[in-house]
Amino acid sequence: MSVPVLPGITAKTITSKRLTTRVLFSGQDDGIPVLFIHGNLSSATFWEENMLALPSGYRGIALDQRGYGEADLEKKIDATRGLRDFSDDAAALLDTLGIEKAHIVGHSLGGSVCWQLMRDYAARLLTVTVVAPGSPYGFGGVKGENGESCYSDHAGSGAGIVNPTFVELVAAGDRSTDNPQLSPRVIINNFYWKPPFVPVREEDLLSSMLSIHTGEQGYAGDKASSENWPMVAPGKFGPNNALSPGYAGDVSELYRIEPKPPVLWVRGADDQIVGDNSLFDMGTLGALGAVPGWPGADIFPPQPMISQTRAVLNQYKDAGGQFVEEVFADTGHTPFIEKPEIFNEVFHQHLQLVK
């Protein structure tokens, strides 16, 4: 079922050389392109208000990424490529639309896709905005500012760390609050934004969340067993495996790219999903006693996601790039939804850096 779009947003089905999917548009066709890239368990729907708020002269473009929304169900995410399926899809969409260069903005997993776009398509990027992005080293199973792996098999990352009951509820399209810990509505209202905030379009955003493609080759993906705590390692399919540090490659490529587009990094001060003590990270959950058998902070500490991102961006700056970090107080994982006026102000200023 399609999620309805706001007045002023046009939805089209676009086929590139890599993917057929729903793409949302705002603004004039000849406007300066701004490509919006959504996060995990969401779709292009999440960006609509921000697309409509773009200044005159800009064209908003947002795709349902591979594995999400109305993207071709037959197109799976090859996690062994890391995030390159997503970044290659984005570049192929720009090709199909006849766009040589664009501003890009990504949220959460979409922010991680921006890191990959920077590594592989730097010359096509006017500016980069990342909102609550994952660490450039990936999600789970790494420690220290330099992203050292806790184990060689990257145990503690990938699809195996996702609660299977939650995956079942997502696959069933559950819209209730019957499970007070794991119902999708409970998760979105407790972790995507900081309570008591509830967005006006809660139902559409929940529909967007539930539109993710599920299964062993979808969300959350397959998993491998491990002799290392927490006894699961990443598999080969799906978005959560693609985020595993085991497939992140050489992160130093990020600060060696040329040219270096300016980066705006926006995050919420109270984000519980991406942070130095993420409640979705096994190191944090182990330290809290929520997952038995934790081997301790020397072996598997909470992943310092914010510190890792800042360290990489400081190296980017030292190598000649520029970045600005904006932290929104009293805000969770979706600053662009929770504080749209503040977000749009800093975002639009950033867009003006390169025309």
SS3 sequence, 151-168? CCCCCCCCHHHCCHHHHH
Q: Residue 1 has what pLDDT?
A: 65
Q: Residue 2 has what pLDDT?
A: 86
φ/ψ of residue 26, rounded to 5 = -140, 160
- Paired tokens of 117: 């776009």
Chain segment 20-78, per-residue pLDDT in tens: 999 999 999 999 999 999 999 999 999 999 999 999 999 999 999 999 999 999 999 99
Overall number of domains in the chain: 1
SS3 category, 314: helix
11, 24 in Cβ contact below 8 A? yes
Please report, for the domain that includes residue 271, its CATH number.
Answer: 3.40.50.1820
Q: Where are the beta strands (DSSP E) in 72-227?
A: 102-107, 125-131, 142-143, 148-149, 214-215, 219-220, 223-225
Low-confidence ranges of the chain (pLDDT < 50): none
Q: How far is it, in rounded angstroms, from Cα 254 to Cα 263?
A: 12
Q: Residue 206 has what pLDDT?
A: 99
Closest CA to 137 of 274, 273, 312, 326: 312
Q: Residue 355 has what pLDDT?
A: 77
Quick check: is 47 in a domain?
yes
Quick check: is 1 in a domain?
no
Q: Residue 297 has what pLDDT?
A: 98
Quick check: is 204 in a domain?
no
What is the pTM assigned to this prediction?
A: 0.98
Quick check: is 212 in a domain?
no
Read off the amino acid at residue 24: L
User: Which range of residues forms the domain containing residue 344?
Assistant: 10-152+245-351
Quick check: is 192 in a domain?
no
SS3 category, 68: coil
Quick check: is 236 in a domain?
no
Quick check: is 230 in a domain?
no
- On average, the pLDDT of the chain sits at 98
Quick check: is 185 in a domain?
no
